[in-house]
Structure 1
Amino acid sequence: MEKHEVTYASSVTSDKESIVDLRAERPEQGSNFLAYANVVCVVAGTGTLGLPYALQLGGWIGVGILLLSLLMSVYTAILLMRCLYYNGKYRLSSYQEIGRHAYGLPGLIAVWFFHTSIVLGAPIMYLILAGTEVHSLVNSSAISEKAWIWICAAIVAVPFVAMKTLKEVAVMSVFGALATVVLVIVAVRGSIIDMQNHNPEYATITHNNVVLANLPTTIASISICFGGNVVYMHVEEAMRYPKTWNRVVAAALATCSVLYIATAVPGYLAYGSKAVSPILKNLPNDAFTKTGTIFIIIHVILAAPILLTSFALEFERLTDVTVARRGKVMERVYRSIIRLVVIGICGGIACTVPFFGDFLSLLGALGNCSLIFVLPIIFYFKLIGWRQMKAYELLWCAFIVIIGVISAVIGSIDAIKALRNDFINQK
């Protein structure tokens, strides 16, 4: 067995051993609830606040697209986890390993590129968002936005460096998930108030059922809201009862969908054709909206260590930073240095790279849609096979891949246009 591959059943000696045996109870690991909270915290994210704008682009059909994205995401999350145990002898360690076992070096490189763009790019955007929002709340010129970004990076660094795996970080995700719920409540409350008060600013709004011209962009925007595959392997690895993964991921993504609908529908009803992203810009400028902003900051600061830990675990496996190899003390030293360098790079990029948001949108459109919809099915067909699938399953898989490709292409085109405008405006 290669050193980067992990097994949970030392007695396994044959390819005929079942996946159920490999996914036996792991007494030292975390609970199903922590795994559920981890997925909700990472997947729900700040994308929740952009959904009324997604409906503004595509119309009410966006609600159906959202529910369809839920079904597709749950299905591919289950297929992806089956790929981890495909040979019946050991559990693969990561998404990258699935790609390598399926298509060799090209598969490894493809997953590594998309995976890294998300698990590092999203925390960078979180630092930018947290720093700028804190600066606007404090409303003081004594501390600049860049300084606040570094302060937020230092806060994120504490759990990122101190906690080794997602089992420990999962405790933070419970608070992150609660922050998302509060954020949704604030958005719903503000939307309802504006509807009841008949705000004259929104007297001329319109609502559409379907806007065909914007439908591809709507699909891309909503599909990306279910991006969580980058951490699923590590969440499942930290579960005490891995055989319950299917139920946990289905419950978590369903919860995210409830939060999405609860934000999108009232937001689009209230603001219609004038809905913007994030929806907080539409809401009444009162204490509750400021509370929502505070909870955005809390959420992104708690979600960033989860994604960064996912990247760090892969890098530490690649560089063989383990207790067995380095010893207990030196493993801690090497791990701390690696993670401090990672958070330092993220903070530096957040402060210095121009147009990073639109550049990240380009990587996110390609990365998220590929990792969520396209690659899990392609890898499953290669590692486990498609011949045992029924005709309707194959049609379903083909449909998911087509949606994933369309979302990636349209999202990339929009991001490229935005980047072009950024460079033109700079000149």
Structure 2
Amino acid sequence: MDKTEAYDATSVLSDKESVEVDLMAERPEQGSSYLAFFNVVCVVAGTGTLGLPYSLRLGGWISIGIMMLSLFMSTYTAILLMKCLYYNGKYRLSSYQEVGRHAFGKAGYITVWCFHTSIVLGAPIMYLILAGTQMQSLVDNTAITLKAWVWIAAAVVAVPFITMKTLKEVAVMSVFGALATLVLVIVAVRGSVMDMSNPKYDTVGHANVILKNLPSTVASISICFGGNVVYMHVEEAMRYPKSWNRVVAAALGVCSILYLATAIPGYITYGDQAESPILTNLPADTFTKVGTIVIIIHVILAAPILLTSFALEFERLTDITVARRGKVMERVYRTLSRLVVIGFCGGIACTVPYFGDFLSLLGALGNCTLIFVLPILCYFKLIGWRQMRWYELVWCAIIVIIGVISAVIGSIDAIKALRIDFLSDSANQ
């Protein structure tokens, strides 16, 4: 590929019809838009839903407005990012990393790769920790340790991750993952409504806005819309790529409905006593146990989607393809590489004592940068900003500013938490 071919952004304007025919045509071998929809919902909604009542506790009722603003911003940047994949009208870029490389050269590739990897490997690690912890809480009378439960969760996740090659196959699992999220929301809403008559919460406080906590609230809610790490692979597995804008808008809209359904009754009931996850506040009954089981199911179904996104890029870089390796050896190399990946995630989940706060640092910085900042910068570089109207430029500027602030504040909070972890660990030795 020569430099002119890679960076000729003006060609996208020369023949729009040919772009649509060549690059946005139907892909009969791929999956439906419905599977893409469930993929996005499964990854984006996730277990972050259960932390939103606590986000309202931090910022007050204004957090509802922040949530809606995050919805509009993340939908807009998801559409811009997908346009970057087709920016030159000659071929589709393969990944977010390639978008960074075409926009800013090697530095752009490395930057996107670092942020992207921190999310697509870090989130599954946290999923394994969460699944192991919840499994242990369900059967806490057994002699099985937390580390053993984490490895059991890793073994379960490894089955679809290794046997299913692309997101087209994994997408079938995402349907059940999205349904699990819906059940989780129902459990949370039911418990919150039941506790409204609990005298324990008669004196809880509610605030309209808590200014000192507002930056942290913006950071935490913005992260709940993080799906850019898999969007390219989800769109690649769609039969009708021209439906992407509608699919991502509908999926993020559904996620927002689930967020509001959980956050509002949770904050009304528990107010300044809301915890994260909200299951900690809910009545300790059968329905809450069902919620715990659903969390386990969800994270085990969501983890392979993120891991597959990482694996697809790694396999492209290392030429683990049928054309290069042959059908049998491609399968062998792919299986071995994915076993190493799941082993790495399981090992980190078991051995790092306060990985959660470390991941919060990477998550805040990585998610906010990947969701809000980089899509706009890459779009400006690859396609240009001159054809945009003034109010679009203002909107883009607002998104970038919020993304930077969220990344910085979230990182500062994570660093403070890490410092406390280190001090506490030293004091106990």
Specify if TM > 0.5: yes
Instruction: Report matched runs for 1:31-180 at 5 Å.
Output: 31-180=32-181
Q: Aligned residue for 1:377?
A: 376
The offset of 1:140, in angstroms, is 2.4
The yes-or-no answer on 1:19 pairing with 2:19 is yes
| Mapped contact 1:182–1:292 kept (Cα < 8 A) | yes
The offset of 1:200, in angstroms, is 2.4
Work out the CA distance in 2 between the residues paired with 1:273 and 1:157. 40
The yes-or-no answer on 1:209 pairing with 2:208 is yes
Q: Aligned residue for 2:344?
A: 345
The yes-or-no answer on 1:194 pairing with 2:195 is yes
The offset of 1:20, in angstroms, is 1.6
Work out the CA distance in 2 between the residues paired with 1:185 and 1:289. 10
The offset of 1:354, in angstroms, is 1.8
Q: Which amino acid aligns with 1:19?
A: V
Work out the CA distance in 2 between the residues paired with 1:140 and 1:321. 45
| Mapped contact 2:12–2:89 kept (Cα < 8 A) | no
Work out the CA distance in 2 between the residues paired with 1:251 and 1:293. 27
Helix, strand or coil for the counterpart of 2:257?
helix
| Mapped contact 1:366–1:411 kept (Cα < 8 A) | yes
Work out the CA distance in 2 between the residues paired with 1:295 and 1:166. 22
Q: Which amino acid aligns with 2:44?
A: V
The offset of 1:231, in angstroms, is 0.1
Instruction: Report matched runs for 1:318-337 at 5 Å.
Output: 318-337=317-336
In the alignment, structure 1 segments of 5+ residues that lack a partner are 7-11
1:339-374 deviations in whole A, cap 9, x for unaligned? 000000000000001210000000000000000000
Work out the CA distance in 2 between the residues paired with 1:155 and 1:140. 22
| Mapped contact 1:35–1:235 kept (Cα < 8 A) | yes
| Mapped contact 1:14–1:89 kept (Cα < 8 A) | no
The yes-or-no answer on 1:29 pairing with 2:30 is yes
The offset of 1:15, in angstroms, is 6.7
Q: Which amino acid aligns with 2:300?
A: I
Instruction: Report matched runs for 1:248-267 at 5 Å.
Output: 248-267=247-266
Helix, strand or coil for the counterpart of 2:292?
helix
Instruction: Report matched runs for 1:260-409 at 5 Å.
Output: 260-409=259-408
The offset of 1:141, in angstroms, is 3.4
| Mapped contact 1:95–1:230 kept (Cα < 8 A) | yes
Work out the CA distance in 2 between the residues paired with 1:49 and 1:226. 14
Identity %: 78
Work out the CA distance in 2 between the residues paired with 1:375 and 1:15. 26
In the alignment, structure 2 segments of 5+ residues that lack a partner are none
Q: Which amino acid aligns with 1:256?
A: C
Q: Aligned residue for 2:223?
A: 224
Work out the CA distance in 1 between the residues paired with 2:363 and 2:110. 17
Helix, strand or coil for the counterpart of 2:304?
helix
Work out the CA distance in 1 between the residues paired with 2:363 and 2:348. 16
Work out the CA distance in 2 between the residues paired with 1:246 and 1:27. 19
Instruction: Report matched runs for 1:237-256 at 5 Å.
Output: 237-256=236-255
The offset of 1:19, in angstroms, is 3.4
The offset of 1:301, in angstroms, is 0.2
The offset of 1:13, in angstroms, is 12
Work out the CA distance in 1 between the residues paired with 2:148 and 2:391. 55
Q: Aligned residue for 1:423?
A: 422
Structural RMSD (CA): 1.5
Work out the CA distance in 2 between the residues paired with 1:13 and 1:187. 47
Work out the CA distance in 1 between the residues paired with 2:411 and 2:115. 13
Work out the CA distance in 2 between the residues paired with 1:15 and 1:173. 39
| Mapped contact 2:57–2:271 kept (Cα < 8 A) | yes
Aligned residue pair count: 418
Helix, strand or coil for the counterpart of 1:45?
helix
The offset of 1:139, in angstroms, is 1.3
| Mapped contact 1:48–1:259 kept (Cα < 8 A) | yes
The offset of 1:227, in angstroms, is 0.2
Q: Which amino acid aligns with 1:388?
A: Q
Q: Which amino acid aligns with 2:190?
A: R
The offset of 1:133, in angstroms, is 0.5
The offset of 1:256, in angstroms, is 0.1
1:392-419 deviations in whole A, cap 9, x for unaligned? 0000000000000010001000000000
| Mapped contact 1:47–1:225 kept (Cα < 8 A) | yes
The offset of 1:285, in angstroms, is 0.5
TM superposition score normalised by structure 1? 0.96
The offset of 1:14, in angstroms, is 11
Q: Aligned residue for 1:9?
A: none
1:70-108 deviations in whole A, cap 9, x for unaligned? 000000000000000000000000000000000001100
Work out the CA distance in 1 between the residues paired with 2:203 and 2:256. 29
| Mapped contact 2:12–2:87 kept (Cα < 8 A) | no
Q: Which amino acid aligns with 1:337?
A: L
